[in-house]
Structure 1
Amino acid sequence: MQKLLQKLERFSQALLAPLSYLTAAGLLLVVGALLTSGPLRQLCPALNWPPIRLVGEVLYNGMMVLINNLSAILCVGIAALRTRTEKQEAALLSFMAYLIFLTANHTALDALGRLAQPDGLTGLAATGQTTILGIQVMDTRVAGGVLLGFAAAYIFNHSCEKQFKGLITQVYSGLRWAFLCIAAFAAAFGLAVCFVWPPLQQGVHAITRWIAASGDLGIFLYGFLERLLIPTGLHHLIYMPFQFSALGGSVTVGSVTYTGAYTVTMAEYSNGLPLTGNIVWMYTGFTKTFGYLGIAAAFIFTARKERRKQTAAAILPLAVTASLASITEPVDFLFCFVSPVLWVLHAAITGGFMVLLNALHVRAFTSNLLGSLVFNLSAAPGQTSRAALLYLLGLAEIAVYFVVFTVVIRALDLPTPGRTQEPEQTEKEIDPADVRRLIEALGGPDNIRTVDNCFTRLRVTVKDTSLLDTAALLSMPHKGLVQEGQRLQLVCGLQAAQARRLLDEQLEQCATV
């Protein structure tokens, strides 16, 4: 069990580290979303001033490129964190592998005649394919990047030190051999996805047809799967058929027939008609608007007291982004992999509230907080039904998320943000003299195999544990020492990155002497 927990801890660290920058990105994204919000520009005409709009668009689009390419970011970040040596080389090789994966997947789709044609309204979203870095591929969402990142790290660790003796073959030793192995895997992975992913997508299509004919149970499953499948990208195949095809209903206005929940709802709104039950398939925005505020509150409340302010500063911008802009990925990937129980409960609560909205005959807009308010307030009399109840249920959903997540997090001691036992950063700067003492306590520079760090721990692997000066290590100015065989962890707080840089500099100086 202890080994399993250690593996889960390393897995979560590898995922969370690349996502740590999304806190700052989310803050800028909120600013950009507010400055470019159509409803907000109607309320505040000053935001229509071109320079302000330009700043908003730059901020919004500049941050959205990170959200849209999370798969690549996770691939590179995971590979760099999980490799033991030459981390910068591993990061470069993993990005090259990601490009090979994309190209191999696109080439195979093209050769098999499976490249989908984008629709004028929905693009590639309903086809199970997407465009990443300008390359049309199967839509595996972040799952493809995560799998490739871990695979690249594993292959790199087991191939980067391989040496060949032949005059010709020795050219392909070391890092070049690692590249060849990783590139071969990436190409094979890209090819395999062409055959493995379509059956999964076909299964999702079959489920959507069953959902459409299953009443409230179907609505629950619709909301449940739309959230649950986000990490795989298969969620697009759940909601797109309902929002943009006949599965989501149809309405005839004059001589024009509109199909799909989205087009039907907008046609009804534009023509002053009462909103019909087709809008239920648009309620995927309800949890984005309200539920993530409850999730954020639970994460903050369950964080360790000394880390509560830090957690709030990191989580609140992401929750506001979800509520105002319906961009939930920065919060989703904080817990979907490291706390699967919470992820399943999250999907279940989403589906449950969609059923409740339909059962109470709520017919109102739920796209995002600002859009919802503007659309519902500007609707013609009689168009919406029980719009006020929508917001009361929104408050109820916030409370449900807060209570359920708080109870489960504490009962299962889940590693959600702010719950690790790492200390806060201290005011004192790290003394280079302490770093030199640390090197000697570790048995000298020649005894140090690898140096790494996570958010708050300096991680060192040594060659010979008999050379360690345990007394000196314990006397060092750190907050804790953990040793597992040849691997040592020094708890440094948020100064771990600085300690790692100073240690690397000292080791480089020793190597040049």
Structure 2
Amino acid sequence: MNKEEKNGSVIFATIQKIGRSFFLPVSILPIAGLLLGIGSALTNQGTIEAYNLEGLLGNGTVLHVLFSIFSQVGNAIFGNLPIIFAISVAIGMAKQEKAVSALSAAISFFVMHTTINALLQADGSILADGSLGSDVLDGAITSVVGISSLEMGVFGGIAVGLGVAALHNRFYKQELPSALSFFAGVRFVPIISVLTYIFVGVAFYFIWPLIQSAIFSAGGLVTESGYFGTFIFGFMERALIPFGLHHVFYIPFWQTALGGTAIIDGVTIAGAQNIYFAELASPNTIKFSVDACRFMTGKYSFMMAGLPAAAYAMYKVAKPENRKLVGGLLFSAALTSFLTGITEPIEFTFLFIAPFLFIIHCVFAGISFVLMHLLNICIGTTFSCGLIDFLLYGPLQGNAKTNWLMITFVFIGYAILYFFVFKFLIEKFNIPTPGRENSGETKLYTKDDFKNKNLPSENTEDELSNVILKAIGGIDNLVDIDACATRLRLTVNNPDKVDEELLKQNGARGIIKKGLGIQIIYGPQVSIIKSNFEEFVEQVS
């Protein structure tokens, strides 16, 4: 590997690590959205009157108070995502002593915005009574954790998280003269972070208005590109799945002005998902914004209908003697996609053996986003578009707000489309999907194999951890351990030492190698595998 290739690998591994650090704050959104969705729906006066539920859910009842709490708790989480991102990214990017990194990020977040606030007061943008000056543009200044500051959204949180993590990784072992030794090591990190983020706050005061203008322009470009822009978003969101970079791509659209801005109840909201949940919480919302939902709703069609139909197509084209064996695996994967929107068990089934099928799937995904945009369907989501989110943000919110009834026709069309296209192409090109193999190259796992990791002898946690460590080239080749929803994500010194066959023989559904980053696909239980592996590595280190 020459120097240029090595630099490219390091950059990709860093971007990949940033992407997976986004996964922690994103994983908080389902519970926040669940609380907000249920609370808002069941305290909405229109809903209460429509179903004659005054006695049960009307003002003053115990359930009304309870659901109001649900709504406000969910709203509090969505309203404070910038600091949540700051802490989560700092945790995700820190190599060791992650708790110190989290504390430093929280402190730095307050320091940065307090610095900006002081400068805004000094230039007259914020007046003595807390009101805004006459020259301040709408939405340029907002309340961030109670501090009037520039509207930076989650970008501000990410900037804090990344910067603090870099300082943390550089200084958490910092040595100082003996007279100052109490402040050495991890205690030095929050000190240097505070000092640094005073200057970062000053810098953002000058440069963020320019960045803000650029973001609004970029968001406007996507919006003005209409249905083509919607297609590109949907296509790219799926196409980046194999590289684990889809979080990096869609989060800015969901959480910043790239996804649009809207004024809701007198407050300027930036980001598609933030707009949707602000509308969800507002009693004045008559119909949800399709311009916001264009970045979310498109996933329901292929997650709930298309990919389960593709799994059924793979079942139908399997050899008759293998159908019983392969049926359990495909049914489990299809049900997971339908209920929760976790699609990787199906997508990776055909990604590695027939990449062109995955490209076709990405095209269908882009078209799905366009159809939702065309049909004015607006069903929000917290994390992934399965049945749970569909019921919560579709039927429960009413057809007048969501136009959810129209999506049922798209579901039917997508189920038929995926089934016949996949069935035809698999048979036409004799693609070795599960149950069709003529050799042992494509391993077929039963449901129990998938669950238990198909270990060589007794199914103990340490055995799998030992196999993983051995397969990646030992402790000296391991740099970092992390995971997302379905993949164990490792950074190594030398990717050539990784034994892919050994990993596959012991339960891995697939391996992705890109530069110094290794992604081992295990499925939804990967978080347990990660925890066991971290403990095992700590024991053998």
TM-score (norm 2): 0.55
Which whole-Å deviations, capped at 9, do the CAs of 1:259-284 have from their partners, x for residues lacking one? xxxxxxx9xx9xxxxxxxxx9xx987
Q: Counterpart in 2 of 1:456?
A: 486
Which whole-Å deviations, capped at 9, do the CAs of 1:212-256 have from their partners, x for residues lacking one? xxxxx9x9699999x9976435888x64499899xxxxxxxxxxx
Q: Give the match's secondary structure for 2:482.
A: strand
Q: Counterpart in 2 of 1:503?
A: 533
What is the alpha-carbon root mean square deviation over aligned residues? Answer: 5.7
Distance 1:198 1:476 in 2: 52
Distance 1:347 1:478 in 2: 35
**1:40 is aligned to 2:47:** yes
Give the AA of the match of 1:37: N
1:427 is matched with which residue: 448, 451, 470? 451
Q: Counterpart in 1 of 2:64?
A: 53
Counterparts of 1:464-503 in structure 2, within 5 Å, are: 476-480=506-510, 489-503=519-533
Distance 2:370 2:483 in 1: 34
Distance 1:456 1:27 in 2: 22
Q: Give the match's secondary structure for 1:113.
A: coil
Q: Which shows bigger deviation, 166-175 or 42-51?
A: 166-175
Q: Counterpart in 2 of 1:101?
A: 112
Q: Counterpart in 2 of 1:159?
A: 171
Q: Give 1:42 deviation, angstroms.
A: 1.0
- The 8 Å contact of residues 91 and 102 in structure 2, kept in 1 or not, is answered as yes
Distance 2:536 2:143 in 1: 44
296 and 443 in structure 1: CA distance in 2 versus 1, 3 angstrom threshold:
closer
Distance 2:179 2:370 in 1: 56
Q: Counterpart in 1 of 2:162?
A: 150
Q: Give 1:57 deviation, angstroms.
A: 0.8
Which whole-Å deviations, capped at 9, do the CAs of 1:10-43 have from their partners, x for residues lacking one? 4432323421232233233221122111101112
Q: Counterpart in 2 of 1:111?
A: 122
**1:285 is aligned to 2:296:** no
Distance 2:451 2:468 in 1: 23
Q: Which shows bigger deviation, 152-161 or 435-444?
A: 435-444
Q: Give the match's secondary structure for 1:494.
A: coil
- The 8 Å contact of residues 91 and 101 in structure 2, kept in 1 or not, is answered as yes
Q: Give 1:434 deviation, angstroms.
A: 0.7
Q: Give 1:115 deviation, angstroms.
A: 1.8
Distance 2:216 2:166 in 1: 34
Distance 2:207 2:409 in 1: 38
Q: Give the match's secondary structure for 1:427.
A: helix
Q: Which runs of 5+ in 1 are unaligned?
A: 212-216, 246-265, 270-278, 317-338, 355-367, 376-389, 411-422
Which whole-Å deviations, capped at 9, do the CAs of 1:307-334 have from their partners, x for residues lacking one? 4543443359xxxxxxxxxxxxxxxxxx
Which whole-Å deviations, capped at 9, do the CAs of 1:365-384 have from their partners, x for residues lacking one? xxx98888789xxxxxxxxx
- The 8 Å contact of residues 482 and 489 in structure 1, kept in 2 or not, is answered as yes
Identity %: 18
Q: Counterpart in 1 of 2:33?
A: 26
Q: Give 1:139 deviation, angstroms.
A: 1.3
82 and 301 in structure 1: CA distance in 2 versus 1, 3 angstrom threshold:
farther
Distance 1:20 1:169 in 2: 40
192 and 473 in structure 1: CA distance in 2 versus 1, 3 angstrom threshold:
same
Q: Which runs of 5+ in 2 are unaligned?
A: 231-249, 269-282, 312-329, 343-361, 378-393, 422-444, 454-458
243 and 370 in structure 1: CA distance in 2 versus 1, 3 angstrom threshold:
farther
- The 8 Å contact of residues 171 and 188 in structure 2, kept in 1 or not, is answered as yes
Q: Give 1:191 deviation, angstroms.
A: 2.3
- The 8 Å contact of residues 298 and 372 in structure 2, kept in 1 or not, is answered as no
Distance 1:467 1:292 in 2: 40
Q: Counterpart in 2 of 1:214?
A: none
Q: Counterpart in 2 of 1:276?
A: none
1:12 is matched with which residue: 14, 19, 25? 19
111 and 504 in structure 1: CA distance in 2 versus 1, 3 angstrom threshold:
same
153 and 309 in structure 1: CA distance in 2 versus 1, 3 angstrom threshold:
farther
Q: Give the match's secondary structure for 1:20.
A: helix
Q: Give the match's secondary structure for 1:504.
A: helix
64 and 186 in structure 1: CA distance in 2 versus 1, 3 angstrom threshold:
same
Number of positions where the alignment pairs a residue of Structure 1 with one of Structure 2: 396
472 and 169 in structure 1: CA distance in 2 versus 1, 3 angstrom threshold:
farther
